[in-house]
Chain A
C-alpha cells in the first residue's frame, strides 16, 4: 500500500458527460501528479500541483482541469467526455524536497470507461 488513495476505483459514463476523480496524497506529501494510462498513448503526465498551486502541465486537454485543495487532496475534472478518454487515471504524490530525485508514489488508479 503506497498510502495514496484514489476514488472511485471504476467509473462508467456516457459521451458528453463530466466526471470528477479524487486523490488523497500520502501523509506529509505536498505535491500531487496526475497521469493517464491508455493502450495507444502509454503513461502520460497530465499535471502537477504543489501545495495548492499548479506547478507543471503536460499533455492535458483543455476539457480537463484539476485543483489541489487546502487539505492537499486533489481532484481531476474531465468534461465533454469522448470515447478516447477511456483510460486508467493515476494520481501520485511526493514530498517535493529534492526535486528530480524525489520518488513519486502511485495510487491504485481510477478506470474510466466512456460509452
Chain B
C-alpha cells in the first residue's frame, strides 16, 4: 500500500543552521509529493510540491527533490529562522489522485 515515513522529531536547531528533514515513501505508480507546514494553533499550509521524478519544489528558502530511485523527498533549508518553528508533514497523493497520505510529522524548534 501507500505510506510515508518521516524522521522523528523534535528537531532543535540554532538560528541560521542547516535543516534536513528526511522523508521516504512507498507507492505504486507515480505519486505526487508534498510538504505541508503547521504553525502552532493553525491549519496546514502547502510549503512545496513535486509531481514527477527529479522535479524540485521550492518555496521560502525550502527545497525538496523528488527522487524516484531512492523513493525520497527530503526537505532542506540552508539557514533556518526562529519563525520556521512548526510541524512539517511530508505527504503523497497516489497515482490516481484523491486523498493525501501523510507522514507522522516532524516538529522543528529553532532557537535564537
Q: Could you list which residues of chain A lie within 8 angstroms of chain B, going by C-beta atoms?
A: 2, 33, 35, 42-45, 48, 55-56, 58, 90, 92, 96, 98-109
- A45 in contact with B44 (CB, 8 Å): no
Nearest CB of chain B from residue A18's CB, rounded to whole Å: 24
B interface majority secondary structure: loop
Chain A CB within 8 A of B98 CB: yes
From the candidates A43, A96, A108, name the one contacting B89 in the complex (CB within 8 A). Answer: A43
In angstroms, Cα B102 to Cα A90, docked, is 13
| Cα–Cα distance between A96 and B89 once the two chains are bound (Å) | 22
Q: How far is the CA of A55 from the CA of B105 in the complex (A)?
A: 26
Q: Give the A-B pair count, Cβ closer than 8 A.
A: 63
Stretch at the interface among B8-16, B18-26, B45-53, B70-78: B45-53
Q: Is the CB of A109 within 8 A of B93?
A: no
> Nearest 6 pairs between A and B by C-beta?
A99-B97, A45-B99, A100-B97, A43-B102, A106-B44, A101-B51
Once bound together, how far apart are the Cα atoms of A2 and B23, in whole Å? 25
Contacting residues, chain A, for B100 (C-beta < 8 A): 33, 35, 43, 45, 92, 104
The chain B residue sitting closest to A35, CB to CB, is B100
Interface readout for B55-99 with A: 1 if CB under 8 Å, 0 if not?
Answer: 000000000000000000000000000000000010001111111
Whether B42 and A108, one on each chain, are in contact in the complex, defined by CB atoms closer than 8 angstroms, is yes
Beyond the given A106-B36, A108-B42, could you list 15 further A-B residue pairs with CB under 8 A, ordered by the A residue number? A2-B43, A35-B100, A43-B100, A58-B99, A90-B43, A90-B44, A96-B97, A99-B93, A100-B31, A100-B95, A102-B93, A103-B49, A106-B44, A106-B45, A107-B43
